[in-house]
């Protein structure tokens, strides 16, 4: 097994205070608590309100992560933010978070990889540490999915929530850290989960707005199948690369999109459900926030012990997917 070069030295997460329950959705959509719970396992989700920003969640999560790592923000050399819902088109949310935490000169940039955005960012951070470029990187992951979902579309409105997390990634000590990563994508499947307009090809306009072109379109059933297959493959690949078997994994932290997807992925990956972190019931799908939120909860709940093998896996629009194996 290769020796890790980078590790998570501190972890934090944050969600908005406003809770939207299934009963709230029943009151304004043609849906039911029973349908949502049976098909997704989701009972409630959190959403940011006007005047609140995704970068505010990142600031809260970052302060927590920095405190746990025993570092001041001035020691951070780069901020990498996995998000597909930046506060604004320019600058990057990484730059906005950096400004709120005290300003430059740390490098700052966003990684757009949808739900696996945090795993992609973690992998980039590991590479920067491996090449000797940096020693201390703040890796953010999160989304304000409520800003890109049509709240009148029952096919998507019930699934998503807002949230984010942060990790201070440093040079590894004591054999802790990233043992392997596996990232992948298939852009030919883009139309299964995408936002038709609002980019440079078709900028926002009255027509785009009237057609709902700024909202997520999703072929749920097709996404479901590809998600399970790709996540199971990514798990296998990262375990094989590290020379580890599924029964050695102490905790699986899968993307929190849907309880049925989580259960199917865990079964395919050969990890029993008592070793799987599930919080989709309370937050829904927070996209790039999903894994850091679940990992931070697992740490808070005492489910992570030094030396444990922890497997993280995610998938999302692109299609993108990724898995990361950690020694905690």
Residues with a catalytic annotation lie at 115, 255, 285
Binding status of residue 27 toward ligand UT7 by CB under 6 A = no
61, 113, 158, 304: which one binds ligand UT7 (CB under 6 A) = 158
Q: Which residue number places its CB atom closest to ligand UT7?
A: 220
Q: Are 126 and 5 in contact (CB under 8 A)?
A: yes
Instruction: Pick the binder of ligand UT7 from 69, 108, 167, 223 (CB under 6 A).
Output: 223
Which of the stretches 47-55, 89-97, 124-132, 152-160 binds ligand UT7 when contact is defined by CB under 6 A? 152-160
Q: At what angle do helices 290-300 and 117-130 cross, to 10 degrees?
A: 80
C-beta closer to ligand UT7: residue 98 or 256: 256
**Both tokens of residue 261?**
């997807």
The dihedral built from the CA positions of residue 279, 282, 286 and 287, taken in this order, carries a sign that is positive
- What is the Cβ-side half-sphere exposure of residue 134, based on CA atoms within 13 angstroms? 23
Q: Pick from 91, 155, 184, 198: which binds ligand UT7 (CB under 6 A)?
A: 155
Interaction with ligand UT7 in 263-292: which residues (CB under 6 A)? 285
Q: How far is the CB of 157 from ligand UT7 (least distance, A)?
A: 7
Residues 36-55 that bind ligand UT7 (CB under 6 A): 39-40
- CB closer to ligand UT7, 95 vs 113: 113
Which residue from 82, 164, 284, 316 is in contact with ligand UT7, where contact means CB under 6 A?
316
Which of positions 183-222 make contact with ligand UT7 (CB under 6 A)? 218, 220-221
Nearer to ligand UT7, 182 or 256 (CB): 256
User: What's the closest the beta carbon of residue 155 comes to ligand UT7, in angstroms?
Assistant: 5
Q: Minimal distance in Å, beta carbon 254 to ligand UT7?
A: 11
> Alpha-carbon distance 6 to 178, whole Å?
6
Q: Which of 109/224 has CB closer to ligand UT7?
A: 224
Closer to ligand UT7 by CB, 177 or 316: give it: 316
Which listed residue (76, 81, 115, 139) binds ligand UT7 by CB under 6 A?
A: 115
156/172 with CB nearer ligand UT7: 156
Minimum distance, C-beta of residue 302 to ligand UT7, in the bound complex (Å)? 28
Nearer to ligand UT7, 72 or 186 (CB): 186
Q: How far is the CB of 153 from ligand UT7 (least distance, A)?
A: 9
**Cβ at position 221, least distance to ligand UT7 in Å:** 4
Q: Which residue has the tokens 């349908």?
A: 35
Q: Give min distance, CB of 119 to ligand UT7, in A.
A: 13
Of 174, 164, 97, 175, residue with least CA distance to 137: 97
Please give the residue ranges that form the binding site for ligand UT7 (CB under 6 A): 31, 35, 39-40, 115, 154-155, 158, 218, 220-221, 223-224, 257-258, 285, 316
């Amino acid at each position: 097994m290769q020796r890790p070069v980078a590790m998570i030295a501190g972890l934090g997460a944050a969600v908005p205070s406003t809770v939207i329950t299934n009963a709230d959705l029943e009151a304004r959509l043609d849906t039911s608590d029973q349908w949502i719970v049976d098909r997704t396992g989701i009972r409630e989700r959190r959403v940011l309100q006007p005047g609140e920003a995704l970068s505010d969640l990142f600031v809260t999560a970052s302060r927590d992560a920095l405190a746990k790592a025993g570092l001041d923000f001035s020691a951070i050399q780069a901020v990498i933010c996995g998000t597909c819902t930046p506060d604004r088109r320019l600058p990057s949310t990484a730059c906005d978070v950096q400004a709120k935490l005290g300003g430059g000169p740390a490098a700052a940039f966003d990684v757009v990889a949808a739900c696996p955005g945090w795993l992609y960012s973690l992998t980039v951070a590991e590479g920067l540490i491996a090449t000797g470029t940096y020693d201390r990187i703040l890796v953010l992951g999160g989304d304000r999915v409520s800003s890109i979902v049509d709240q009148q579309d029952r096919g998507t409105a019930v699934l998503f929530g807002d949230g984010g997390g942060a990790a201070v990634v440093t040079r590894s000590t004591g054999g802790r850290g990233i043992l392997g990563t596996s990232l992948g994508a298939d852009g030919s499947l883009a139309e299964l989960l995408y936002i038709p307009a609002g980019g440079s090809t078709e900028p926002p306009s009255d027509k785009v707005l009237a057609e709902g072109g700024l909202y997520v379109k999703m072929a749920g059933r097709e996404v479901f199948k590809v998600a399970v297959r790709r996540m199971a493959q990514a798990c296998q690949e990262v375990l094989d690369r590290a020379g580890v078997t599924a029964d050695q994994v102490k905790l699986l932290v899968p993307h929190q999109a849907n309880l049925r997807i989580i259960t199917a992925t865990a079964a395919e990956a050969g990890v029993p459900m008592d070793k799987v972190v599930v919080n989709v019931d309370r937050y829904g799908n927070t996209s790039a926030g999903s894994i850091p939120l679940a990992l931070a909860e697992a740490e808070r709940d005492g489910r992570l012990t030094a030396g444990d093998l922890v497997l993280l896996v995610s998938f999302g629009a692109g299609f993108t997917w990724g898995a990361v194996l950690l020694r905690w």
